[in-house]
């Protein structure tokens, strides 16, 4: 299964390199685009859950790395919920 990293920048300017066990991330994000925080979190949830389910379909178990990445994204994202107009930028994909 092809895995990838996608690089993001949080509203406070901090970069993060994120993991996906599947290229499905490309169906949800576009490099260079900025997403409103709740939209970014929803897309991340959908993409990483789908990626984990693809691993389950192939190997018989969900992808703990994808679900762990989703937990980290949701935890970090929760710090910015009170900020007006908080956006997350997707900077690049590494395959």
In tens, the pLDDT along 11-67 reads 999 999 999 999 999 999 999 999 999 999 999 999 999 999 999 999 999 999 999
Comparing C-alpha atoms, which of 46, 44, 26, 23 is closest to residue 35? Answer: 44
In tens, the pLDDT along 65-88 reads 999 999 999 999 999 999 999 999
Query: pLDDT tier at 1 (50, 70, 90 boundaries)?
Result: low
**The pair of three-digit structure tokens given for residue 37, joined into one six-digit string:** 């925080």
CB count, 10 Å around CB of 67?
A: 15
Higher-confidence position of 1 and 64? 64
Residue 63 phi/psi, 5-degree rounding, is: -90, 110
How far apart are the C-alpha atoms of 86 and 40, rounded to whole Å?
A: 10
């Amino acid at each position: 299964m092809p895995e990838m990293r996608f690089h993001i920048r949080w509203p406070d300017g901090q970069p993060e390199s994120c993991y996906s066990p599947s290229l499905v991330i490309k169906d949800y994000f576009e490099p260079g685009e900025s997403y409103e925080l709740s939209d970014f979190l929803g897309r991340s949830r959908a993409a990483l859950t789908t990626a984990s389910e693809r691993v389950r379909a192939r190997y018989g178990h969900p992808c703990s790395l994808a679900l762990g990445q989703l937990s980290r994204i949701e935890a970090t994202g929760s710090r910015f919920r009170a900020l007006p107009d908080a956006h997350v930028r997707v900077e690049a994909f590494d395959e």
